[in-house]
Amino acid sequence: MLALATAVAAGVVAAPVAAAGSFYDPPATLPARDGDVIRAEPADFYLDPLKLLKVDAEVNRVMYRTTDRDGSPIAITGTVITPRGEWKGAGERPVIGYAVGTQGLGDHCAPSRQLAMGSEYEGPFLQGLLLRGYGVAITDYEGLGTPGVHTYVNRVVSGRAVLDSIRAAQRLPDADLPDNGPVAIAGYSQGGGAAAAAAELAADYAPELKLKGVAASAIPADLQKVGVNLDGGLYAAFLGYAAVGLSAGYGIDMDPFLNDRGRALFAELEDHCTIQAVGRYAFTRSASLTADGEPLTDLLEDNPQFKAMVDEQLMGRVKPSVPVFVSHSRLDDVIPYGVGKKVVLDWCGKGARVKFDPNLAPTHVGGAVAAYPATFAWLEGRFAGLPAPNNCWAAPIL
């Protein structure tokens, strides 16, 4: 992000640049509106850790206001990126609210930090959006970079963070993006869940946005089923992330439910980014972490407090007000294909306009790569004003 700014009720006015090292520390008083910019500063975006491939764009790190699960205003951070070239499409330059996939729980894992370090694994997809001329707003989500624990896969908090990142991009003067132009949302995996949540929340939470569509792929729409699939597998750390993040967001103390090893592992998870955590905790069975020797997924199913918490994250109950694109690999080893298909069927049953695009790419990572070209093409159609494709009629047999 570029110059530091602070939002007040009368609008956004310039403010002094934050002192070194203090950017991620929220001020005592927050601005009046969700999406208002608190501060911003210039940043970089590298595609590689050696910092040899610098993306040619205007990059701004930004702190902005959003609303937490319980309705309290909070400050979170993100990144707004504007291509340097002129927008060559029809109308005003579109803005994509991009929801990143699993980054980890440590503050150093925040996308705004990883973009600057060249370690953001979704950098190539973001570059693809920029090469198409779109402005891009990327949220760090709650608790990544800013104080507190990252509320991983919390439906409401994640959806609001994405929608408010778009508002912040529109209100940041240095981004030079339209303040009332066309927007869309995209995300995969954790980001697919955040994008799907934004699709369900947008009509009520951010009705002023000119939202043309949402591309939400590999959606973790049913956390109970995803958790059962993760337990003891290569990506077991993601189950730990969910338990840590959700319990923090709901004010639940997990310690009484864990043994010594579990408490130590959960504490460690708060410091690790995705790649490190996946390797370190691969094939860990959650039953080895609990006080009673039962899997965490049993706790999430049988304990009324935890069951209600997980149930609140279920997607598909609210009809998206805009067209949606969903890609999911039948061979996904993280989020079962049936979970993604179920949310599609639920949305279709409510009359939503959905393009469901299954693929056969091996693994969760392969599914992301396979989804990229179709996502780009679908977004281009929305901004070109073409009729949104709808294959809800075929979804039951896909």
The model scores a pTM over 0.85: yes
Domain 227-311 has CATH 1.10.1740.10: no
Q: Is the pLDDT of residue 20 over 60?
A: no
Q: Is the pLDDT of residue 224 over 50?
A: yes
Q: Is the pLDDT of residue 282 over 60?
A: yes
Q: pLDDT-derived band of residue 11, with 50, 70 and 90 as boundaries?
A: very low
The values of phi and psi at residue 5, to 5°, are: -140, 155
> Strand 324-329 relative to strand 354-359: parallel, antiparallel, unpaired?
parallel
CA dist 285 → 206, 273, 378 (Å): 40, 20, 39
Contacts of 203-210 with CB under 8 Å at 24 or more apart are 203/321, 205/159, 205/160, 205/163, 206/35, 206/163, 206/164, 206/166, 206/167, 208/180, 209/163, 209/166, 209/167, 209/183, 210/180, 210/181, 210/182, 210/183
Q: pLDDT-derived band of residue 394, with 50, 70 and 90 as boundaries?
A: very high
Q: pLDDT-derived band of residue 281, with 50, 70 and 90 as boundaries?
A: very high
Q: Is the pLDDT of residue 17 over 80?
A: no
Average pLDDT estimate for 310-335: 97
pLDDT at 301: 87
Share of the chain above pLDDT 90, in %: 92
Average pLDDT estimate for 276-288: 96
Q: pLDDT-derived band of residue 33, with 50, 70 and 90 as boundaries?
A: very high
Q: Is the pLDDT of residue 21 over 80?
A: no
The least confident of 6-15, 223-232, 319-328 is 6-15
Average pLDDT estimate for 106-129: 96
Q: Is the pLDDT of residue 15 over 50?
A: no
Tell me the domain boundaries of the chain: 5-222+319-397, 227-311
* CA atoms of 78 and 186, how far apart (whole Å): 15
- Enter the tokens of residue 82: 């504007």
Pair 351, 241: CB distance under 8 Å: no
Pair 102, 241: CB distance under 8 Å: yes
pLDDT at 7: 30
pLDDT at 4: 26
Q: Is the pLDDT of residue 18 over 60?
A: no
Average pLDDT estimate for 370-395: 97
pLDDT at 9: 28
pLDDT tens for each residue of 141-196: 999 999 999 999 999 999 999 999 999 999 999 999 999 999 999 999 999 999 99
What CATH number is given for 5-222+319-397 in this structure? Answer: 3.40.50.1820
* CA atoms of 164 and 34, how far apart (whole Å): 6
Nearest to 323 by CA among 373, 379, 371: 379
Q: pLDDT-derived band of residue 300, with 50, 70 and 90 as boundaries?
A: confident
* CA atoms of 394 and 398, how far apart (whole Å): 6
pLDDT at 3: 27
Length of the chain: 398
Q: pLDDT-derived band of residue 22, with 50, 70 and 90 as boundaries?
A: confident
Average pLDDT estimate for 231-249: 96
